[in-house]
Amino acid sequence: MKKNNLTDKERQTKALEEGKLIEKYWNDPSHNKTVHRVIIGDSRNMTKSVVDNSVHLIVTSPPYFNAKEYSQWSTIEKYLEDMKKTFIECFRVLQPRRKFCLNISDLPERGDSGVRWIPLGPELERVAQEVGFELADRIFWYKTPVKGFQYGSLPFPPSPLICDSMEYIYVLRKPGKPDYSHISKSQKEASRLKREEYAEFTKQIWTMRRVRLKENVNGHIAPFPDELPHRCIKLYSFVGEIVLDPFGGSGTTTKMAIQNKRNSILYEIKEEYLQHIKEKLNLNQKRLSDRFEVFIEYEK
């Protein structure tokens, strides 16, 4: 089978060559571009492309259990099993004492007695801790604008429906001794947050606009706003470090890594999202090529 007019073997060789080039860029302080890997592959097994303890921050929002575009799971238990496989890989590639920012919300499900909520957030937090992560912080995303009231028993008691306006951002930490020896004084200074940024970003409740349907031009079923990975990247990484998104979707995390002068690795299992990623990153605009480079890889 061919992709981009290359055989699987040719693509594998090309990916290895590009991987060496990427490592050269990441380890060369004089290289003034950020480098970004877009990997069409399965983040449950990143051993082919990402080495141990090589990533400085993970920011992601995993697929939802009953989402139409990711509906391969027949039970919540099977869903959690797959998430655990990816979390194990995340734990492997993340450097000690660094952060894994996990955005997720609970899910409504209609039952015989009415709507009930699947506690997806707490379940994924539990799975992450089973893998070895510690819970460092928990942030709540207050999604604006709040959609109109939910009907339920409107306008009477006893069964009103509460508006869904919150999501979790679990800030998980890999235990161990940190290593910041690669951070130069200039990198540290370039990563300084403004006073007002620090004050706003360290609040436990983040008020951010949700992505409206008409704004979702890149077509992903559940994109998070640019502001969410932007804040995580600014708070938990230094300029020039590597950010991973194991569930890349339409490429928002990589977009914000570029904006904040970080390198990135994006995994996305669905190849049809590649065009959305290219559009979001404006890869056809040559004038941006002096700021960053993107390598697109395919895994078997």
pLDDT in tens, 220-239: 456 789 999 999 999 999 99
pLDDT at 83 over 70: yes
Q: What is the pTM of this model?
A: 0.87
When pLDDT is averaged across residues 81-106 and rounded to a whole number, the result is 98
pLDDT at 208: 96
pLDDT at 207: 97
What confidence category does residue 291 fall into, taking pLDDT thresholds of 50, 70 and 90? Answer: confident
Please list, in sequence order, all residues whose beta carbon lies within 8 angstroms of the beta carbon of residue 227, skipping any fewer than 6 positions away: 206, 208, 209
Distances 5 to 15, 93, 235, 269, 274 between C-alpha atoms, Å: 14, 31, 41, 20, 16
Give the fold, CATH level 3, of 8-298.
Rossmann fold (3.40.50)
Does the bond joining 246 to the residue before it have cis omega, within 30 degrees of 0? Answer: no
259 class by beta-carbon count within 10 Å (0-12 exposed, 13-18 middle, 19+ buried): middle
Report the alpha-carbon distance of residue 258 to residue 292 in Å, rounded: 7
HSE, side-chain direction, 13 A CA sphere, residue 122: 3
Using one digit for the tens of pLDDT, what is the confidence trace for 5-40? 555 445 544 544 555 556 656 566 556 789 999 999
